[in-house]
Amino acid sequence: MDQRWRSGRPHVVVLGAGFAGLNATRELARGGALVTLVDRNPYTTFQPLLYQVATAGMSSADITYPTRAFAAAYPTVRARRAAMTKLDPVERRMELDDGTTLDYDYLVLATGVTTNWIGVRGAADNSRPIYSAADAVALRRTLQRCLEETATGRRPSTHVVVVGGGATGVEMAGTLAELRRRTIPLTHPEIAPEQTSVTLVERFDYVLAPYKPRLRAAAAHALSRRGVRLRLGCTVAAVEPDAVVLADGTRLPSDVTVWALGVAAPKEAGQWGLPQGKGGRIAVCEALNVREHPEIFVAGDLAGPPDPLPQLAQPSIQMGKHVGRQILAAAHGHPVAPFRYRDPGIMATVGRAEAVLQLSNGWTFHGLLAWLAWIALHIAYLLGGRNRTNVLLSFLWRYFGPRRSAASVAE
């Protein structure tokens, strides 16, 4: 243990290297705390761009960043690649899957959540989630294989059904539709237009539920203009290997089903001995700590505060910063303060030169201006100069380069 890692300061274990975990770690490190950042992966993933990896607009390396490189910027931070297998809140100790244990003064649980199949028969076996870098790469390979088999006559079609009309589903459907319309005819001329399709299924009568009606309508119109078949007001009853079955008995042919509907706490959260609320999330007080164990804080999608928050990047970022500050306050004997979310607005992209933006003051935008703002914001939040440069170049090449340049999903 080097001289920088000296005693006399609180030791905080941060479990999870997502938006919440990284921002908590940064605040704690700046305040002089000793931090161990633990994640099952050796990298952090920028989840808002997973759909770009799935459709081959970017590589997984463009949206991931090594946790040890992040930790290296702070003398009092150490990174560990491991997963927690057991938590003892009384002894303030956790066991890791590498056989070691970690003691802590404070603990931040920021593992995020996982795919929620909401009890739909066959969904877990016959559809592809898009919640992690591994999910995005697997979906990309599935699409590549289906297109190649369709082009060579081994498969009759490549119909894609996206389940869920939230931001992820809309972004995925819009990008796939542009590939189908603009690119596949060049790279796979053997495939007839009727052999491919993109369908979006949403249980509400509109897409992008958190947005104002004007933006919902704009997004739906943009999707339709790109050739997406919208099945709104429809509930999925089952997912079969070659079809999505709706509650009314309608079968939608589907060679690739993308599941972009709902998330839930990981199963292991139920083994931690902490109170759970809706969706298995950890129940917390207003300051985002656990009532029975106030030294344990929860941030990000895993947290279940009294007032529900949208499961977006901004709440996770703000919760992570808040948790870091409250731990520093508690370590100095000061009372912790309640968390207050500052809503900066929400945005989603539909495709080239088309996005929707809703600000907290009620202003709304859609079209090119919103799309440029979406690109700028996402690049700004990426970690690492190389990633920012690569992502910017990928956007420019995909949307302004030759039409065939957007076709690596088919390569």
Q: Does residue 401 carry a pLDDT above 80? A: no
Same domain, 293 and 356: no
**Residues in Cβ contact with 39 at an 8 Å cutoff, skipping those fewer than 6 apart:** 15, 16, 17, 21, 67, 79, 80, 81, 82
Q: For residues 258-279, b (16+ Cβ closer than 10 Å) or e, as one string?
A: bbbbbbbbbeebeebebeeeeb
Check which CATH number belongs to the domain holding 282 and give it: 3.50.50.60
Which structural domain, as residue segments, surrounds residue 83? 11-113+265-331
Q: Are residues 162 and 218 in the same domain?
A: yes
Amino acid at 270: G
Residues 293, 196 share a domain:
no
- In this predicted model, which residue has the larger pLDDT, 378 or 181? 181
pLDDT per residue as tens digits for the range 198-242: 999 999 999 999 999 999 999 999 999 999 999 999 999 999 999
Q: pLDDT tens digit string along 272-324?
A: 999 998 889 999 999 999 999 999 999 999 999 888 888 888 999 999 999 99
Please indicate whether residue 393 or residue 372 has the higher confidence score (pLDDT). 372
**HEC secondary structure over 68-83:** HHHHCCCCCEEEEECC
Q: Do 19 and 316 touch, CB atoms closer than 8 A?
A: yes
| Confidence grade of residue 403 (pLDDT, cut at 50, 70, 90) | low
- In this structure, is residue 274 part of a structural domain? yes
Please give the tally of structural domains in the chain. Answer: 2
CB 236, CB 163: distance < 8 Å: yes
Residue 185 lies in a domain: yes
Tokens 């759909």 correspond to what residue?
51
Report whether 226 contacts 218 (CB < 8 A): no
Residues 373 and 399 in one domain: yes
CA 110 from chain center: how many Å? 13
At a CB cut-off of 8 Å and minimum separation 6, what does 289 contact? 295, 296, 297, 298, 326, 336
pLDDT of 55 > 50? The answer is: yes
State the Cα–Cα distance between residues 23 and 239, nearest whole angstrom: 38
Residue ranges in 226-342 assigned as alpha helix (H)? 313-331
Q: What is the pLDDT of residues 23-38, one digit of tens each?
A: 999 999 999 999 999 9
Which of 331, 358, 375 is the last residue before a domain boundary?
Answer: 331
Question: Residue 388 above 60 pLDDT?
Answer: yes
Task: Give the predicted TM-score (pTM) of the model.
Answer: 0.90
Asked if the model's pLDDT at residue 4 lies above 70, the reply is no
Domain's final residue, options 299, 331, 363: 331
- Taking alpha carbons only, the member of 182, 179, 160, 166 closest to residue 229 is 160
Residue at which a domain ends, from 274, 297, 331: 331
Q: What is the pLDDT of residue 375?
A: 87
pLDDT value at residue 25:
98
| Residue range 374-396: mean pLDDT, rounded | 80
* Band of pLDDT at residue 184, cut at 50, 70 and 90: very high
Residues 91 and 192 in one domain: no
Q: What is the CATH number of the domain that holds 214?
A: 3.50.50.100
Q: How confident is the model at residue 7 (pLDDT cuts 50, 70, 90)?
A: low
CA 180 distance to own-chain centroid: 24
> Distance between CA 116 and CA 108 in Å, rounded?
23
Is residue 295 situated within a structural domain?
A: yes
Same-domain status, 178 and 39: no
Whether the predicted pLDDT of 404 surpasses 80: no
The CA distance from 174 to 411, in Å, is: 20
Provide the 8-state DSSP code for 407. -
**Do residues 120 and 259 lie in contact, with contact meaning Cβ atoms separated by under 8 Å?**
no
Statement to judge: residues 247 and 281 lie in one domain: no
Using the Cα atoms of residue 394, residue 71, residue 304 and residue 132 in order, give the sign of their dihedral.
Answer: positive
Residue 264's pLDDT band, with cuts at 50, 70 and 90, is confident
Q: What's the CA gap between 84 and 232, in Å, rounded?
A: 40
What totals of helices (H) and strands (E) does the chain contain, helices first? Answer: 11, 25
- For the segment 105-159, what is each residue's pLDDT rounded down to a tens digit? 999 999 999 889 999 999 999 999 999 999 999 999 999 999 999 999 999 999 9
Measured in degrees and rounded to the nearest 5, phi and psi for residue 341 equal -80, 130
Residues 259, 269, single domain; the answer is no
Q: What is the SS3 assignment for 311? A: coil
Across 7-21, 208-222, 369-383, the highest mean pLDDT is recorded for 208-222
When pLDDT is cut at 50, 70 and 90, the band that residue 409 belongs to is: very low
Distance of alpha carbon 260 from alpha carbon 123, whole angstroms: 11
Do 276 and 158 belong to one domain? no
**Residue 23 and residue 320 in contact, taking contact as beta carbons nearer than 8 Å:** yes
